[in-house]
Chain A
Amino acid sequence: MDVLSGLAHGFAVAFEPANLMWCLVGCFLGTVVGILPGLGPAATIAMLLPMTYGMSPTAGIIMLTGIYYGAKYGGSTTSILLNMPGESSSVVTCIDGYQMARKGRAGAALGIAAIASFIAGSFGIVALSLMAPPIAEFALSFSSPEYFALMALGLALVVLLAGDSLVKGLIALLLGLWLTSIGTDLFTSQSRFTFGQSSLLSGLDFMVVAIGVFALSEVLNSIADKEETQLLPVPKGMRNLLPSWEELKACRFAFVNGSVVGFIIGILPGAGASIASFISYGIERAFSRHPEKFGTGVPEGVAAPEGANNADTGGALIPLLTLGIPGGGTTAILLSALVLWGVKPGPLMMQESPDVFWGLVASLYIGNVMLLILNLPMVPLFAQILRIPVYILHPLILGVSVIGAYSVAGRIFDVVMLAGFGALGYAMSRLKFPVAPLVLGFVLGDAMERALRQSLMMSQGELGILFSRPISAVMLACAVAVLFLPLLPRFRALKVAAG
C-alpha cells in the first residue's frame, strides 16, 4: 500500500464515529494531564490501559496516543503562568514564557505555544506519514559519537544562555553536570556522590530539580520582594489575550526551527523531547537578531521549544511503529499496549495491520486540529488564574510543586530535595547566577558522559572516532562555531579600531 492510499484508508478508519470520539477523549485527557502536575502521560496511559482491552486495537491506540501528544500541548500552560513546568519537555518554556506573562502577555504566550505546537506537530505527522521507513534507517546510523556531538552542540549553546556573566553561566552549567552524575554509574554500578543514601542511588529527578529552581525559587523571590496583591497584570479585552500579528511574525523562523529540530531529535531513541526543546531554543537564540533579549520574554523563546516538543511526537512514533523500538517511558507503554492487543509493531506492521497503522497516523492529523480548537479558547480562561491574589496563589503553587515532586517516585525524599533546590534557585538568583544553564547541564550532562564513554569503548580509547564520522564531525564543527560566534563582533571591532 503506498502512502496516499494508505492515508486515505487511514482517514476512513479514523473518521469512524467511535474512533473520532476516542481521539477526542484522548486529546482532552492528555491536555488535562499536561496541565496538572502529578500525573504524567505514562502513568495515565498505564492506568487506562486495562479499560481499553474491550476496545478495538485501533480505537485503543488512537486514544492512548492522544494522551501522549495532548500532554505536550498542555505542558506549557503552567510553565508560562506560574514558572512551573508541567512536563519535562516544557521546562525551557519557563524561561521566556513566564517573562512574557510578567509583562502582561500571558495570553499571547499561551496562544503562541498552542499555534507553535500545532504547526510543528503537523509537520512531524506529515514527515511520519511520508517517509517513516527511510527515516527509521537514518536514525539507526546515529551512534554514540553522534549523540556526543549533539550533546556537545547543546552545551555550546549554553554560552548563549549565560546572560551577563559568562563565568557565572559556566559555573551554573558545571553545577548541573555535577547534579546529574549523582547516582549509580550505568557502566560500572559504582555509586557516585550518594552520601550513603539509598534514595540517591537512582539519581535526582529532572522534574524535582526544575520545579525547585524555577517555581519554588520564584515564589521565594516574589515573597521577598513583596510583589503584593496580584502576581502579574492581566490586561482587559480579548485582543490583548491573544498573540499580536507582530508577535506571530517574529516566530516565523521559530516555527520552522522547532518543527525540524524536534522531529529529527525525536526519531533518535537516545534523546527525547526535553533535549529537543533545549536545542531548538538554543538554535533560535543563536540565529536571532536580538539574542540579548532572550530570557526577557520574547515570543520566539516560547514558540521554538513548544514546537520542538510537539514535532518530537511524530519523530518518536517512527522507531516505535516501524521497528518496535520505544524511545522513552511513554512510548514503551504504548508498545506494551500494542503487544497486549496482539498487534506487533515492527517492520511488518504497515503491511499486516494497515488499519491500526494508518488509522493511527490519520488520527494524529485529526487530533492535532482538535487540540488547537480545544486549547485556543481556553487561553483567556487560563490567563484569569493570574487574577488570584498572591496570598492564595503562592500556597497553591507550593502545593502543586509538592504533588509534582512527590509523584515522581512516591516518596517524601523528593519533596525534601525540592525544598533544597528551591533554596539553591533562590540563592542563585540573588547572587546573579543564571539558572537556565544549570538545568541544561542537568539534562544534557548525563547523556553526554554516557555517549562519550560509549564512543571511547567502541573505538578502544581512540578519540578519532568523534571526528572521523561525518555527522558527528559536522555537529562538533557547529559547536565550535557557536562557541566563537559571540566573539566575532568584538573581533571586527578590534580590526576596525586597528585599521
Chain B
Amino acid sequence: MRKALFKDADVIAGSCTAALGVYITLTASRWEVMGADGPGPGFFPIGYGIALIILSLILIFQRFTAPLTSEAGAAFDWEGFGRAAATWAAFAVSALAMQTAGFYIAFGVLTVFLAGFVFGKPLKTALLTGVLSAAGFYIVFCLALDVSLPVGILGF
C-alpha cells in the first residue's frame, strides 16, 4: 500500500470534488435539460453533478464520524513527493518543449535528467542512457515503423 498524503486527505479531496460537482451542476443547468425531442445536453451532467456533491459531502462527513486509523496519522513523505513532483515537472516541460526541440531531443534530455538527478546516477551514465535511449527510439519508431512524432526545428 502506498503511504497517505495528509491526515485530513479525505476532507481536502472531498472539498475539491464537491467544488467540481457545484461547477458541473451550474454549468450544465445553462444547457437544455429536457427538450421537445427528449433529454438535452444538460440532463446527464446535472444528474452526476448533484450525485458528486452528495457523495463528496458523505466523504467529508465520514472523516468526522470514523476514528482515525493509525496509518492516516503517519508523517507525510515530503522527500518522495519531491521526487515525484520533480519527475512530473520534467515530464511536463519536455512535453511542451517537443514542439520546438522535437521528440527525440526532448526525450533524451528528460532521460538524462531522470537518470542523473532523480535516480542520482553519475553524469556519464546518465548521458549515455539518454543518448542510447533516444537513439533506440529513433531506430524503432522512426526508421523501422515510420511513426510520426513531433518534429523540432532541427528537422527530427
Contacts and interface: CB of A to CB of B under 8 A. Distances in A.
B40 to A, nearest CB: 7
Given A178-B52, A224-B81, 8 more contacts: A38-B145, A38-B149, A39-B147, A178-B20, A220-B87, A392-B133, A431-B4, A460-B38
A216 B88 CA distance: 9
Contacts of A457: 37-38
A426 B84 CA distance: 9
A431 B141 contact: no
B24 interface: yes
Contacts of A36: 140-141, 145
Contact of A224 (B77, B91, B95, B99): B77
Contacts of A403: 103, 137, 141, 147, 149
A410 B150 CA distance: 8
Contacts, number: 177
Interface in B1-60: 2-5, 9-10, 12-13, 17, 20-21, 24, 27-28, 31-32, 34, 37-41, 43-45, 48-49, 51-52, 55-56, 58-59
B127 interface: no
Given A36-B145, A395-B129, A416 B95 contact: yes
B17 to A, nearest CB: 5
Q: Top 6 closest A-B pairs, CB basis?
A: A224-B80, A457-B38, A391-B119, A395-B111, A224-B84, A185-B41
B45 A181 contact: yes
Interface stretch (A165-173, A342-350, A378-386): A165-173
B126 to A, nearest CB: 8
B9 A432 contact: yes
A219 B84 CA distance: 8
B98 A220 contact: no
15 contacts: A36-B141, A167-B55, A178-B45, A219-B87, A223-B83, A223-B84, A390-B119, A391-B119, A391-B129, A395-B107, A406-B103, A416-B92, A416-B95, A430-B3, A456-B38
B105 interface: no
A390 B120 CA distance: 12
Interface residues of B, number: 68
A391 B115 contact: yes
A178 B121 contact: no
A423 interface: yes
Contacts of A137: none
B107 A399 contact: yes
A480 interface: no
